Amino acid sequence: MSDKAYAVTPEWAGRAWIDDAKYQALYERSISDPEGFWGETGRRLDWIRPYTKVKDTTFGPGEVSIKWFEDGTLNVAANCIDRHLATKGDQVAIIWEGDDPSKDETITYSQLHERVCKFANVLKAHGVKKGDRVTIYLPMIPEAAYAMLACARIGAVHSIVFAGFSPDSLAGRIDDADSHFVITADEGLRGGKTVPLKKNTDEALERCTKGGGKVLVVRRTGNPVPFKDGRDLWLHDELAKVDADCPPVEVGAEDPLFILYTSGSTGKPKGVLHTTGGYLLYASITHQYVFDYHDGDIYWCTADVGWVTGHSYIVYGPLANGGTTLMFEGVPTYPSPSRFWDVVDKWSVNVFYTAPTAIRSLMGAGDDHVTKSSRASLRLLGSVGEPINPEAWEWYHRVVGEDRCPIVDTWWQTETGGILITPLPGAIAQKPGSATLPFFGVRPQLVDDKGTPLEGAAQGNLVLLDSWPGQARTLYGDHDRFVQTYFSTYPGTYFTGDGCRRDEDGYYWITGRVDDVINVSGHRMGTAEVESALVTHPKVSEAAVVGYPHDLKGQGIYCYVTLNTGEEPSDDLKKELVKHVRHEIGPIASPDIVQFAPGLPKTRSGKIMRRILRKIAEDEFSALGDTSTLADPSVVDDLISNRQNRK
């Protein structure tokens, strides 16, 4: 091994589903015979009509079409619930841990079955049918999982909008999905503070031009909220009117399961569409092997169901495997920075999966908050969402895992549906900061900017050469944009948007986005979205946004703002602009730094040279490179002398 590595222990090699020999053999098979490998693996799901076709995929050039198990039919809710009832009816499916540590609930598979069936009957009673899009804007409460599974049970397509998004963002997503049914709560509760979800939904619906319809409201805090008769429905009233008999609908493997909006390099979020059979299979197999999940394990992923991690690794993967999944309403630091470890001890969590930003913030709070807990139940740790710096990795390993727990650093994306590059804990030695090696069926390649493949140890752009079952099939309503975004940069391959290095051992090290997407606290954000929000402020003429390295968040949001003629820069105006962006997009998009700039560096054809802005934001302006192509090179001097991130 070329770098510091943590070898697989004999104990792990012995107990894990996949050891080194199995990894080698299965990986080899999955690449040389994908039809055979996935054809067999697909049988882990319960099919209503078994498939006869396995893989029919092409990445172009030209047409892009991705189909798996095309002629099979199944139901996702039946796979996640009904098929476990005979053997696991009384086993806990979901452990819910409230924001307030004294509030919790356990839900068995039998209870989950009853609740999801009733929930589905409420949807049906209000006209929701197969193929309809249902928008879910909920906090981390069990009803979020019931709502997802209820949609799946009747073949409706859910579109979850993270509860931290603003009314405007919600409205855009309701309209884009042409959704006519919204599920929300009176309020959310996080870190002791309420989030006005119903109020936001009301505001969003006022702005919708296409979508809208009925609003089903979960009572969470019980505080009074406005209610519109004829449109708004209380979930508890509706549940009282229905029974628990709801047969699962037969759904085609390639029928849509959900839409999930994510940021790209343009201002408009993309509705990533996942379908039924391949997605569930991939979520299930990766959950079992990456987390080495065995019956009876208590598994906790700290993500929110508003992101893809919550979809695949809180709800669909663990439940498809008949597992016990913990769902946490709160935040890592409330009521204290010991909260994660208190919860681990309270429920004897065995597998714990979180994001580097949380690890870094808890590392900063001091080891005492960790070491006063036992954590004896922990066996495996995971990381997702952004590159983990080796220092945070080592701390996670040494302090949280007491050198006993392997760490799976899992690289994937909303578009990939499930984990693509990761160590398997019984098979692959870990190196701090590396996502290591591809999962079964995954064919990574590095290419230079011209698309030429790079062999051996190299650094370049990460593309994938072939499809895997969990891959997104299209962008909702915009297949051209799907093809353009992912398959046109390096024709014939799926371009991830990530930069990556491969070392002498063939290990992959993701270096971060190479497009205009930034990763702030593990949340993906298009710089163009923040720019669009800034220019809607009446005093702003122009804005350019870039990421810069941030100790806790991974990347921070740095905004260069040009004001309209006659407007005066001031600290108050900076604060107002930060508030404005939070209001337009949501608190996750809060600018960290605003710099007023009389002019932006543009080429003669008017293109903003972001490379220069990135360097200045990083305080690395001695290496600006060639500025001679700028229409007005003198703007750079002003930008440098007024830079806001002096190290």
Name the binding residues: 190-193, 309, 385-387, 409-414, 498, 513, 521, 524, 535, 537, 540, 582
Report the binding-site residues for CoA.
190-193, 309, 521, 582
User: In the bound complex, what is the minimum distance in angstroms from residue 413's beta carbon to ligand PRX?
Assistant: 4
Q: How far is the CB of 423 from ligand PRX (least distance, A)?
A: 11
d(CA 89, CA 328): 23
Residue 92 C-beta-side C-alpha neighbours within 13 Å = 17
Candidate ranges 57-65, 238-246, 280-288, 384-392; the one touching ligand PRX (CB under 6 A): 384-392
- Of 123, 217, 298, 308, the one binding ligand PRX (CB under 6 A) is 308
Binding to ligand PRX in span 477-506, by CB under 6 A? 496-498
250 touches 48 (CB < 8 A): yes
Helix (H, G, I), strand (E, B) or coil at 647: coil
| Burial classification of residue 342, based on how many CB atoms lie within 10 Å of its CB (0-12 exposed, 13-18 middle, 19 or more buried) | middle
CB 560 within 8 A of CB 639: yes
What residue is closest to ligand PRX based on CB? 414
Burial of 120 (0-12, 13-18, 19+ CB in 10 A): buried
Q: Tell me the closest approach of the beta carbon of residue 45 to ligand PRX, in angstroms.
A: 22
Query: Is 409 a binder of ligand PRX (CB under 6 A)?
Result: yes
Give the binding range for ligand PRX (CB under 6 A) out of 5-13, 123-131, 404-412, 440-448: 404-412
Q: Which stretch binds ligand PRX (CB under 6 A): 94-102, 284-292, 407-415, 562-570?
A: 407-415
Query: Are the C-beta atoms of residues 630 and 605 closer than 8 Å to each other?
Result: no
Q: Which two tokens stand for residue 526?
A: 């298009």
Using the rule CB under 6 A, is 410 a contact of ligand PRX? yes
User: Which residue shows structure tokens 């036992």?
Assistant: 374
309 binds ligand PRX (CB under 6 A): yes
**Omega cis (within 30) before 538:** no
Whether the bond between 61 and the residue before it is cis, its omega within 30 degrees of 0, is yes
- Assess 529 for contact with ligand PRX (CB under 6 A): no
Q: Cβ atoms within 10 A of the Cβ of 111, count?
A: 17
Selected range binding ligand PRX among 17-25, 78-86, 315-323, 380-388, rule: CB under 6 A = 380-388
Residues 253-272, one symbol each (x = binds ligand PRX by CB under 6 A, - = not), give ---------x----------
Closer of 77 and 384 to ligand PRX (Cβ): 384
**CB nearer ligand PRX, residue 242 or residue 458:** 458
Which 3 state secondary structure label does DSSP give 303? coil
**Amino acid, res. 48:** I
Question: Pick from 95, 349, 384, 557: which binds ligand PRX (CB under 6 A)?
Answer: 384
# binding residues, ligand PRX (CB under 6 A): 22
Q: Is the CA virtual torsion 428, 433, 436, 440 positive or negative?
A: positive
Q: Which is nearer to ligand PRX, 196 or 512 (CB)?
A: 512
Region binding ligand PRX by CB under 6 A among candidate stretches 113-121, 408-416, 544-552, 618-626:
408-416
| Long-range contacts formed by 84-88: CB under 8 A, 24+ apart | 84/109, 84/322, 85/109, 85/110, 85/113, 87/322, 88/322
Please state the closest distance from residue 25 (CB atom) to ligand PRX, in A: 25
Regarding 378 and contact with ligand PRX (CB under 6 A), the answer is: no
Q: Which residues form the interface with ligand PRX (CB under 6 A)?
A: 262, 308-309, 384-387, 409-414, 435, 496-498, 510, 512-513, 519, 524
